[in-house]
Chain A
């Protein structure tokens, strides 16, 4: 039911307040062989409580953009504002999930999540209660004391997500969090992530190179061209929520896929990048 008045109303309202504002951001990397322009004049606003995906081929600079928003990298020109404050250093109030789980192998799952609490001197008892509850919500009840090498890749990434959520951030940045997982685990992670998101409706900025994943998860999809990265499409996804996996069989879903694919084809992505072959089939 695209055009659901409730959904449209919420989105319309959310657009007015920007959680993240990216203004004229370019990033040039200087290497031995010369300079490489990774990002070219990126402009967009991210509304509060929205789930927005940034979609693009490998190496188009989308991870760089995420790091710039998180304050872990600096733009060459332009600026980024998070909740109306200009980003000048690491934005530790955000929750950041990276492509690799980056768990500390000497800590149990629970204590890996609690690293977040230790970093911001949260109350120990309260943090532990919340960490346990988060691990339960992502289906890791009973695995709290396991160490990373005893967990599967998907479970490790779930722990990493719990770590990013422990301090209840208003904005969550996710850098291809399911990129290293197999297709089935990946779908399940998407479903679980949405369920988690439905509870708090935080602002999520989700970087991915999977068209289906982006459409399935998001309220809005930004499509990026190959390097130098530019936003080539800004598409609202008006699919009903909460979303079920079978929505992927619907006509509307296919139409969104087709629209995005045509833009990617126009920028030469789907023919030139063999890495993204799997996404040629919706």
Chain B
């Protein structure tokens, strides 16, 4: 409860800014009488969503499913690879350079190939989302595992914790804050992957809706879809933050303590 009030206190400047921008946008469109197919007023955008919520919900669920599955797949790939990079010298010398080099290839440019290989269904979108989301997750895990301080490892050695114990009880918890950083970036990229996949060929989802709406100059629908899409992105990001707070309570407490000190100092 206290954290909720605190969150509200902290977020009201952002909420006010958004509300102000929407009002300015509405006024601008009305004063200069801009045609709706160029820039629709926010009122008509919200009216569009309001008129058929079930329709948007259906497409939202489809895109959210692709994003979620793609993200999970990205974790399943990125996490073990990150561990391998840190633990295995052989892996660093053989496979890791290929992974890094592959990041230079614009991944979205490869996306059409995925449609050729895996069809127009959900599979190709999940794979595209996973493809662009796994790398930041991998890097987050690698940076985290390498950030473990030497003293703690020496202590672990002195009490005889062993390689597995050291990994699970010391190195992994040490790596988690950085790993969560990677997860947050990965999550936003997974949304991008799913939408781009839908651009290229799909009958459902917010991405395909965008293509159809723009093709028919139905600009209010474009904007309405964009609003729904941003809600998806924000909620997905916020979910990761929620899990992070639950998984790393000590991290949160420490940071809140420091932040409060800073606020007092300011």
Contact = CB atoms under 8 A, between A and B. Distances in A.
A119 B169 CA distance: 10
A120 B151 contact: no
B155 to A, nearest CB: 4
Of A70, A105, A120, A163, most B-chain CB atoms within 10 Å: A105
Q: Is the interface of A mostly helix, strand, loop or mixed?
A: loop
Contact of B158 (A94, A100, A105): A94
A98 B154 contact: yes
Contact of B161 (A70, A72, A98, A119): A119
B43 to A, nearest CB: 49
B165 interface: yes
Contact of B257 (A106, A118, A149): A149
A92 B165 contact: no
B4 interface: no
A116 B152 contact: no
A10 B260 CA distance: 56
A246 B226 CA distance: 77
B250 A98 contact: no
A115 B250 contact: no
B250 A149 contact: yes
A98 B155 contact: yes
A96 B158 contact: yes
Chain A contact-residue range equals 20 to 34
B169 A90 contact: no
Interface in B128-162: 151-152, 154-162
Interface string A95-133: 010101010111000000001101110000000000000
A202 interface: no
Nearest to B158: A96
B256 to A, nearest CB: 11
B159 A115 contact: yes
B198 to A, nearest CB: 40
Dominant SS among interface residues on chain B: helix
Interface residues of B, number: 21
Interface in B157-177: 157-162, 165, 169-170, 173
B250 A92 contact: no
Contacts of B248: 106
A105 B169 CA distance: 12
Contacts of A163: 159
B254 A119 contact: no
A147 interface: yes
Contacts of A67: 154
B87 interface: no
A112 to B, nearest CB: 10
Contacts of A147: 250, 253
Contacts of B165: 118-119
Contact of A72 (B157, B169, B251, B253): B157
Contacts of B161: 115, 118-119
26 contacts: A70-B158, A72-B158, A92-B158, A92-B159, A92-B160, A96-B158, A96-B159, A98-B151, A98-B155, A102-B154, A102-B155, A104-B170, A105-B254, A106-B173, A106-B248, A106-B250, A115-B161, A115-B169, A118-B165, A119-B159, A119-B160, A119-B161, A119-B162, A119-B165, A147-B250, A149-B257
Interface of A: 67, 70, 72, 90-92, 94, 96, 98, 100, 102, 104-106, 115-116, 118-120, 147, 149, 163
